[in-house]
A = this chain, B = another copy of it.
Amino acid sequence: MLKVGLLGAGRIAGVHATAISAHPGSTLAAVSDINTTAAEKIAAQYGAEARDTAAILGDSSIGAVLIATSTDTHSDLIEKATAAGKAVLCEKPVDLSLARAQVCQKTVAASGCPVMIGFNRRFDPNFSALKKAVDGGEIGKPELLSITSFDPAPPPVAYIKVSGGLFRDMMIHDFDMANFIMGASPAMVTAVGSSIVDPEIGGAGDVDTAVVTLTYADGRIAVIKNSRRAVYGYDQRLELLGSEGLLQAQNMLENTVVKSTTQGVTGAKPTYFFLERYMPAYAAEWAAFVEAVDSGKPLPVTLEDGVAALAMAEAATLSVKTGAPVSLASVLG
């Protein structure tokens, strides 16, 4: 039984607490947060203790920590946790600074501790079924990937200002998805973006609508579309054209009811946000982490994956600014 310390007690930490508790091979031992009331609440619900982070990292009975704190603390906590010998599952992104994330990567490599980055979408039943079909050769050789990823509504501008921008905060999931599906990093990143949803987002120096084209050394192409607003719900689709066919992962719907009237034929909307859509993915992600930690086998998502996605976000940010394609190599330095 893997004893787990949860760092952070916000909304996403609550989701992880449920997954940790429900898994037959893990138990939630302790929770920490700068908001001690929040930590105590989660601890009470799942029979864990509210402690401070140092105490959790210093407790040798705790084998793993799940880092669900604010992004600016991720690199530090990953380093401290691995220094303390813990296995780590850290929410994305590794850091807003690519340079800092690369330092973290080197530090961790020295520790030998397993660190997994929480790209939960790889564990979504739809995307993972699609990946399995690709790897099984069901559409031949992949050629052209398209990712559609729209949020239902933009976050507050106050959040936008500290988020690192759309590419580091939102599209980073899609960069990782492209890496997951294509099995490689792109050579060049070309991005366009605008703040057409809300001019205040533009005022804060960010974009809210963006299209990024990725080209690969072998000629393959990927395109990612992001919008901060799709009023009908959380739009999360992916399609891959290959030499022998097309694979598409479509949206999950709220229910299967269809109504036909004089107004048309109407079905349910996509599930509204990431908690509804990706709840099964969080459980599968945690199960994969526990399995890898228990067996000593490689983690399904690594710190390297986190750095790669961050580098793509950096390249896209630069491409929008300069109006020119940016090579990934130039960003990775």
Contacts and interface: CB of A to CB of B under 8 A. Distances in A.
Interface of A: 125-126, 129-130, 133, 138-139, 143-144, 146, 148, 150, 188, 190, 192-197, 209-211, 213, 215, 218-221, 223, 225, 227, 229-233, 235, 241, 243-270, 323-325
Contacts of A249: 255-257
A243 B192 contact: no
A77 to B, nearest CB: 30
By CB atoms of chain B within 10 A, which of A129, A188, A196, A325 has the most? A196
18 contacts: A125-B255, A139-B259, A139-B261, A144-B211, A190-B213, A196-B221, A197-B243, A209-B219, A209-B221, A245-B261, A246-B259, A247-B258, A247-B260, A263-B266, A264-B268, A265-B267, A266-B266, A323-B325
Contacts of A190: 190, 192, 213
A144 B209 contact: yes
B261 A231 contact: yes
A130 B258 CA distance: 9
A264 B260 contact: no
Contacts of A253: 265
A174 B43 CA distance: 44
By CB atoms of chain B within 10 A, which of A139, A220, A225, A231 has the most? A231
B196 A143 contact: yes
Contacts of A215: 192, 194
A331 B247 CA distance: 37
Nearest to A250: B256
Contacts of A262: 231-232, 244-245, 269
A248 B255 CA distance: 11
A244 B244 CA distance: 27
By CB atoms of chain B within 10 A, which of A221, A250, A252 has the most? A221
Contacts of A243: 197, 229, 231
Given A211-B144, A213-B190, A246-B232, A255 B139 contact: no
A232 B260 contact: yes
A227 to B, nearest CB: 6
A48 to B, nearest CB: 16
